[in-house]
Amino acid sequence: MRKFFNSIIHIGLSPELPFGQQNKIRIFNTASLFISFVCIFYTLLGLGQQRYLTVIFTFSEFLLLVFGFFLIYKRKYNLGFHFGLITGILFLIGYSLLFGEKSQTHIFLLFMPVAGIILFDCFTTIFVYFVLSAVFLAGSKMLFALFEPYYAYNSIIDTIGWMNFVFTSTLIFLGVRQFKTENINFNREINFQRLELKEKNKDITDSIHYAKRIQSALMASNTLLNKNLPEYFVLYKPKDIVSGDFYWAEQTNTNFLLAACDCTGHGVPGAFMSLLNITKLNEIAREKKLVGPDSILNQLREDIIKVLNPEGTEEGKDGMDAVLCSFDFDNLKLEFACANNPLWIVRKIPSNLPKGDQSLANGILYESAVENNSSSLGGMDWPSLIEFKPDKMPVGMYNGEKKDFRLNSIKLQKGDNVYLFTDGYADQFGGPKGKKFKYAQLKELLLSIHHLPMNEQQALLQQNLEKWKGNLEQVDDILIIGVRV
């Protein structure tokens, strides 16, 4: 018998339904099953008293309840809910007119607002059923005053009245109890899912942390950088655990290659692209023996385009921006190529430099630095930021004109600070108005701290970033590399 009841209560349920919807269906089925037994009881009672009109009413309501189960079985849930409530209200009015006020049949209407609250989320729908119940309850009182009941009053009607009171109380109790039980089950399900998600999140996070170890192992090691760079810093702050930004280095016979790269995306997608690009850079430098920054980027672009399936990539968006440098510290020479990201050099300009002479900056020195130097510094050396504009194309898929990357060359001076970076620092939102930091502020910041040791520059860049960001979220991976000649 219990198995039969459970099968009725679970009519219309399916695993893909939201847990809250499943709760409503079980409550509706439980109430409908109880009312079905009440209808069968009154049908048998009517047959015993030979009140055949009562039998027609109660058995018809039973058939309507069966049809309501059919609607739920067909997954027409809202239609089944409305059908059950509306036919129930009409039945109660008709049955009350048969037996009169003493039968207390109309008090079943008190259950309708409770059912509306349980079954529906829309406040308007709940309010409508509350008003209908109140109107019909008040209306039944008026009808009792205006019309005599179809069946004359006797002691059996008093008994029916008490039974209806008990049935109504039981129905409300079952509805509320089932609602509470469903809430308890819902909370258990939520806790179970929370624990399950926590476990899955831990597994995923552990996997990503392991991927970070792999990514870190493929990037330039501190040992390699310490051995080949006089003084430097690397400010590296992934937005997520793994990063689309990476730095790469390789020692050739005479030069030291150093790159700051920004792959499409961040997090796991960016990390996949970074691993692909690191692998290809190692292959180009170690196996193909290319040493020119422009040649390396040109070859890398060809390799990336061949590796990436055109049907699975979005043209113009799958690749990376990069600054690739080749340092010759013995001869104080720097060669480099830039894909979408510039290269900056902060240099002290001697106070005796003739006005307008830009030879030290390879023709790209800011004029304002020279003018300020001669007019206001009283013979002191003045720091100036030299900016080398990038080629406006990425290393990878590109929907514009495909050209070779330009090779840039500059004679370095002792004390020069060379900065390679991605766009994450300048694009960080923050400050009093929540705006981007922008490159102009980054230039000013580097000019103000260029004279400090490299480790102090890194610390100040980090402090400034945290102060600027405040409570806002980091928007992108951040990478800045500084090298002092």
94-130: string of b/e by CB count within 10 Å (b at 16+)? ebbbbbbbebbbbbbbebbbbbbbbbbeeeebbeebe
Among candidate residues 330, 215, 226, the one with its CA nearest the CA of residue 269: 215
- Amino acid identity of residue 103, one-letter, is S
Which of 267, 264, 261, 266 lies closest to 249 in space, CA to CA?
Answer: 261
Q: What is the pTM of this model?
A: 0.63
Residue 390 φ/ψ region, left for φ over 0, alpha for ψ in the -120 to 50 degree band, beta for the rest: beta
CA distance 198 to 160: 55
345-360 residues labelled b (16+ CB within 10 A) or e (exposed)? bbbbbeeebeeeebeb
Domain ranges of the chain: 2-195, 219-342+389-484
Instruction: Please report the pLDDT score of residue 63 as a whole number.
Output: 92
List beta partners, residue 340. Answer: 322
Helix (H) or strand (E) holding 296: helix 293-307
Reduced 3-state DSSP string for 135-181: HHHHHHHHHHHHCCCCCCCCHHHHHHHHHHHHHHHHHHHHHHHHHHH
In the numeric block, the tokens 């008040």 are attached to 138
For residue 346, the model assigns a pLDDT of 95
CATH for 219-342+389-484 (3.60.40.10, 3.40.50.740, 3.40.50.620, 3.40.50.1980): 3.60.40.10
Q: Which two three-digit tokens encode residue 366?
A: 């800011």
- Distance (Å, rounded) from C-alpha 484 to C-alpha 233? 9
What confidence score (pLDDT) does residue 361 get? 40
Q: How far apart are CA 294 and CA 407, in angstroms?
A: 5
From the first residue on, what is the mean pLDDT of each consecutive set of 10 residues in the chain (485 residues)?
82 84 85 86 85 86 91 91 86 77 72 80 87 81 74 71 75 72 76 86 86 88 93 94 92 93 84 90 92 94 82 59 95 95 90 48 38 35 87 85 90 95 94 93 94 95 94 93 96
Report the pLDDT value the prediction gives residue 376, as an integer from 0 to 100.
32
